[in-house]
Amino acid sequence: MKYRLIVLLSLVFAATGLRAEIDVVDLVTRSIDQTRGLSSYAEMTMVVKRPTWERTSSLIGWTRGREDALIRFTAPARDAGNALLKQGEKMWTFNPKINRNIRLPNSMMSQSWAGSDFSYNDLSRSDKWLRHYELTLTNTEAEDGHEIYTIEAIPYEDAPVVWGKEEMVIRDDYVLIALTYYDQEMVPVKQMKSLEIGELGGRMMATRMRMLELEEPDQYTELVYQEIDFDVELEDRMFTVFALKSAR
C-alpha cells in the first residue's frame, strides 16, 4: 500500500516536473534575450540578395537591456554612417548625406530596414510582444543531443498582429532555429532560419541567419555575426538622438 502511494506520488511529480521543464513563455523569452545580454557589442555583415543583384554591408551594433539599441553601417562607403537608434518603442534613423535624424513613424515599422528583408519591427522585437500571443508547444524532438521545441504563437483576437500565426523552433539551449510567419490563411509568408550555430562571445547562438520572403524565391537577407561581446561597459549617451547624429 505504502509502495503504491510512493509510485503514484512520484508519477505526479514526474508529470509536473515535465510540464515545468517546458515553460513555453520562459523558453521564448530566454531565446529572445539570448543574443542580447545586459549589454552587447557586435560586428556583423549583412548580405541582401535579390534576383538581379547582391549587396554586402558591414555593421556594428550596441544594445543595452531590452530597450536600447544602436546600429551603424561601416561599409560599403556608400552606406557607411547610416545608423538606426532604438529607444524603447521609438526609432530614429540617421543619414550622413542629409545630416538629419528622422524619427520613424509607426506606419513605417513594418517596412523594410535598409533595403533588407528585415522590417523595423523584426529589429525591435522584444518580450513585450509575447502578451499578444497564445503560445503552445506543438512538437518536441531530439537531435544531436538537443531537444528541439516547436512553438506555435497564435495572436489574440484584438492583438495588433497581422499574422495568422508564428511558428518558432527553439533548441533547449535557447537558440532560435527558425521563425516562420504565416498569413491568415496559414500560408507561410516569411521565414527566418539559423544557418550556422556556434559559440560566440561565450554564448551559444545563431551566428548566421537568413530572412526569406517565401513568396519571392530568389530573395533573402543574411546576417552574419563576426564578433559579439556581452555585458560590455557602455556610456549612457550612446543611446541618445544626439549620439546618433554625432557618429561618435
Partner 1 sequence: MSFKLVWQLSIRNILRHRRRNLMLFAAIAVAVTGVSSMNTLIRGMQYGMMDTAVENMTGHIKIHAPGYRDDPNIQKGFALDEDFEPPVPAEDMLGWAARIRIPAVIMSERETRGVQIVGVDPSAEAISFIGDVPIEGDGLESTDDGRILIGRELAIQLETEVGRRIVVITQGIDGRNREKGYRIVGTYDAEGTALEKMYVFTGLSSLQGLLDSEDVTEVSIRLVDEPKRLTFKQLLVGFFSELAVMDWLELEPMAAAMFIFADSVIYIWFALMMSALTFGLINTLITSVMERVKELGMVRALGMPKRMVLIQVVVESTIIMAVGVVIGLIGGYLVFLTIEDGINLGAFAEGMEMAGIASVLVPVLRWDDFILVAWLSLLLGILASLYPAWRAVKVQPLEAMRR
Interface positions with partner 1 (CB under 8 A): 89, 105-107, 110-111, 155-164, 181, 183-184, 189
Q: Which of 159, 164, 157, 197 is nearest to 178 (CA)?
A: 197
Minimal distance, residue 109 CB to partner 1, in Å: 8
d(CA 115, CA 133): 28
Burial of 242 (0-12, 13-18, 19+ CB in 10 A): exposed
Is the CB of 41 or the CB of 181 nearer to partner 1? 181
Residues 6+ apart with CB under 8 A from 79: 57, 73, 114
Minimal distance, residue 128 CB to partner 1, in Å: 11
Minimal distance, residue 222 CB to partner 1, in Å: 22
Is the CB of 163 or the CB of 174 nearer to partner 1? 163
Is the CB of 110 or the CB of 140 nearer to partner 1? 110
Minimal distance, residue 47 CB to partner 1, in Å: 24
Place of cell 556583423: 44
Is the CB of 39 or the CB of 112 nearer to partner 1? 112
Minimal distance, residue 120 CB to partner 1, in Å: 11
**Which residues are registered as beta bridge partners of 112?**
119
Is the CB of 172 or the CB of 183 nearer to partner 1? 183
Is the CB of 130 or the CB of 161 nearer to partner 1? 161
Minimal distance, residue 161 CB to partner 1, in Å: 6
Give pairs for 168-173: CB < 8 Å, separation 24+: 168/28, 168/31, 170/27, 170/28, 170/31, 171/146, 171/147, 171/197, 172/146, 172/147, 172/148, 173/146, 173/204
3-state secondary structure of 96: coil
**Which residues are registered as beta bridge partners of 178?**
169, 193
Minimal distance, residue 248 CB to partner 1, in Å: 29
Is the CB of 196 or the CB of 216 nearer to partner 1? 216
